[in-house]
Amino acid sequence: MDFGSFLAAPEIKIRIVTYRDIFQDKAMIENRFGEEYRDRSAIIKLDAADLKQLNVKKGDTVILSNSFGRIVVKAEESGYDTPHRGLAYMPNSPWSNMLVSDETGGTGVPKFKDISVTVTSAKGEKVTEFKP
């Protein structure tokens, strides 16, 4: 074993904002459990500097975890010119919903737009599967 195998993978804390995507909605209508829907839903869009800090590239898997859940999704660069370190974007989906707090503050509506998680590389792990 080499020395690097004893080092923990870098991890960062981020806030996730969820959004709706018309192409994801189309894929869901065609097949909610299909590959296209998973490919458009099980993603997180990160700032380029955050990707670099995590030592992950586009298409690599990352682990997102908080006290409500743990999922594995694919990482993508957000593509925004304005830096937004510590802020990431995910389509509203079963994957993002796994991280949403059950605390609603009396409103009955979960907080989908501001989810705090820890992100780390998931080298070799597959995207979390949801079965019908």
- Reported as type and span, the H/E element at residue 50 is helix 48-54
Percentage with pLDDT > 90 across the chain: 55
Residue 110 placed within a domain = yes
> Which range (32-41, 59-68, 77-86) has the least confidence?
32-41
- Average pLDDT for 45-50: 96
Alpha carbon distance 68, 131 (integer Å):
20
pLDDT at residue 33 in the model: 79
Cα atoms in the 13 Å half-sphere on the side-chain side of 120:
11
Cα atoms in the 13 Å half-sphere on the side-chain side of 27:
17
Contact status, residue 64 vs residue 70, Cβ threshold 8 Å: yes
Instruction: Report pLDDT digits (tens) over 111-132.
Output: 777 899 999 999 889 999 987 6
Residue 93 placed within a domain = yes
In three-state secondary structure terms, 79 is: coil
Q: Is 87 left (phi over 0), alpha (psi -120 to 50) or beta?
A: beta
pLDDT at residue 5 in the model: 55
Residue 59 placed within a domain = yes
What is the pairing mode between strands 69-77 and 61-66? Answer: antiparallel
* Domain count within the chain: 1
Residue 2 placed within a domain = no
19 alpha-carbon distance from chain centroid: 12
pLDDT at residue 81 in the model: 85
- Average pLDDT for 92-96: 91
pLDDT of 9 strictly over 80: no
Residue 74 placed within a domain = yes
Residue 131 placed within a domain = no
pLDDT at residue 56 in the model: 94
Residue 1 placed within a domain = no
Which residue's entry shows tokens 């829907």?
37
Q: Domain with 41 in it: what CATH number?
A: 2.40.40.20
Domain span including residue 39:
10-121
